[in-house]
Structure 1
């Protein structure tokens, strides 16, 4: 289990992370989402003991990571797949870490097989690795100590569709065996497919958190009209976020009744109005973080 309790990190007058609290539970994959600059990386670094919080506490399996004599045996971390010694082979990278953690050399071969790196690939220097191969090596490193907790930042970056599907199945299997996974990624459709719980951060603060099923079942409306531009402007003026869906309708978190009232006041004729059965992670993300992304900053 991972627990963040009132984590705050200040750099001078700037609060990169401001009073962040959440829990990632065993047997579940917890998605940690937010726009660039939201405080995700700083929070994950505090969880992993790489950055000291200004206030608050982060624990993994009820202990601060810095207090563990051999943390790699409890927590597997992948924050930057490119952070590998370019002159060493993939097998050498893993072998050195195995020695530091007191692991048998057989563990290196086991994790290489798990992540799908061949013997020939493992004997190449990491400078020649593609981004996808670096991700697989980074995940092998995270799994090396047979941990019960994984903290992963963009682990699917650079993987092809088959690799992304493989990653999803691996993480779901890890959680099904009782492991805890904290996963950060901008691949929203993939996060929707793999995550049991969601934590959304923006401007250094938690904006929403809970089970994926609860957050994604919130009210949402799909609407068409004879003048979608005018309807969008009217809904936006009323304080509602509006996005166009792949099917060509407008999507908003406003209730159907509220959409009808706004359309009537704006004298816009509606041709379709219905409640959606699911919000969808992409819509939830943009609705929740609208004021914290680059578009919100520019506005």
Structure 2
């Protein structure tokens, strides 16, 4: 379980986070999405105890991360795959970490195989790794202590399509076993494929959260009839707010069933009735975060 409550972070006059709240439940993958500069990485660094908040709090497994006993064995973290000792081999890094965490040494070989780093790659110095190999090693490191929570910032960067497919299944298996996953990524289609819940952030504020179906439903429906005036009158009579949408159809702020029933009761023939955001996560993301891009402060 991860709980983020009213997080605020200011750097001088710049507000990076403004009253951010959400939770990640056991058995789920939560996709954490937003444009560059939205505050994703700042939030994750606060959760992991690397950056102090100006206000609010974040807890993992019921406690601030810094107060957890042997946190690396309970929470797997991957925030920057490039932050690894380039002079050591992948196997050496995992063996050293296993000793520090008190993890079963057998986990090292098990995980190297699980993330697709064979003997040749495991014995190579990390300085010669590609970004995709560093990501795989970082995921192995995050899983080393057999944690119940994973916090991953852009873990798919540098992975090829096969690697992304592999990571998706790894995270689903982890969640299905009761684990909690917080996943930040700019690969919207992959997040859509793996996440149970979504948290969308823009300009340091949470702009939406819930399941994809819930978020799409909250956007209303687009509806078109042979008689637009009669349709508008029927919706008004049913207490449904509607406005003129793009290319002619009305945007009705209600569930599709309620809109359809209102039209049928008034004898209005519909020629179109569909979700307002039927373009999936990508369209939803764009509609909710347009204008919330990086302001040049470099905050992620």
**What is the TM-score normalised by the length of structure 2?**
0.81
Q: What is the SS of the residue equivalent to 1:132?
A: helix
**Mapped contact 1:88–1:125 kept (Cα < 8 A):** yes
Report the equivalent of 1:89: 89
In structure 2, C-alpha distance between the alignment counterparts of 1:156 and 1:252, rounded to whole Å = 39
CA distance in 2, matches of 1:253, 1:82: 49
Cα shift at 1:216: 2.9
Paired with 1:29 and 1:163, the residues of 2 have a C-alpha distance of 18
- Partner residue in 2 for 1:158: 158
Instruction: Provide, for residues 212-271 of structure 1, a one-character-per-residue CA deviation record: whole Å limited to 9, x for no partner.
Output: 221133435499xxxxxxxxxxxxxxx9997xxxxxxx79993499xxxxxxxxxxxxxx
- The residue aligned with 1:275 is 274
Answer whether contact 2:223 2:252 (CA < 8 A) is retained: no
How far residue 95 of structure 1 moved from its aligned partner, in angstroms, is 1.1
Number of the residue aligned with 1:254: 251
Alignment partner, residue 114 of structure 1 = 114
Cα distance in 2 for partners of 1:241, 1:34 equals: 25
Closer, same or farther: CA 222–78 of 1 in aligned 2, 3 Å: farther
- Residue 69 of structure 1 and its aligned partner are, at CA, apart by 2.7
CA change 1:13–1:91 in 2 (3 A) is same
Closer/same/farther in 2, CA of residues 107 and 43 from structure 1, 3 Å limit: same
1:38 aligns with 2:35: no
Q: Is the 8 A contact 1:217 1:279 kept in 2?
A: no
* Aligned-residue RMSD, C-alpha: 2.6
Partner of residue 4, structure 1:
4
In structure 1, runs of 5+ residues without a counterpart are: 224-238, 243-249, 258-271
Deviation, 1:71, is 0.3
The aligned residue for residue 238 of structure 2 is: none
Q: Residue 201 of structure 1: CA displacement?
A: 0.5
CA distance 1:44–1:134, shift in 2 (3 Å): same
SS in 1 for 2:7: strand
Question: For residues 66 and 251 of structure 1, do their structure 2 counterparts lie closer, same or farther at Cα, with a shift above 3 Å needed?
Answer: farther
Match of 1:216 in 2: 216
Pairwise CA distance, 1:70:
0.6
Q: CA deviation at 1:279?
A: 4.7
Which runs of structure 2 are paired with 1:1-299 in the superposition (5 Å)?
A: 1-218=1-218, 219-221=220-222, 254-255=251-252, 274-276=273-275, 278-293=278-293
Alpha-carbon distance in 2 for matches of 1:119, 1:241? 58
Q: Deviations over 1:191-213 (max 9, x none)?
A: 11111000000110110011222
CA distance in structure 2 between the aligned counterparts of 1:174 and 1:123, rounded to whole angstroms = 27
Q: After TM superposition, which residue ranges in structure 1, 4 or more long, deviate above 4 angstroms?
A: 239-242, 250-253
SS in structure 2 of the partner of residue 135 of structure 1? helix
CA–CA distance in structure 2, aligned partners of residues 47 and 89 of structure 1: 29
Deviation string 1:29-69 (CA, Å, 9 cap, x unpaired) is 00000000000000000001110111111100101110123
Where in structure 2 are there 5+ consecutive unaligned residues? 225-242, 255-270, 296-300
> TM-score with structure 1 length normalisation?
0.81
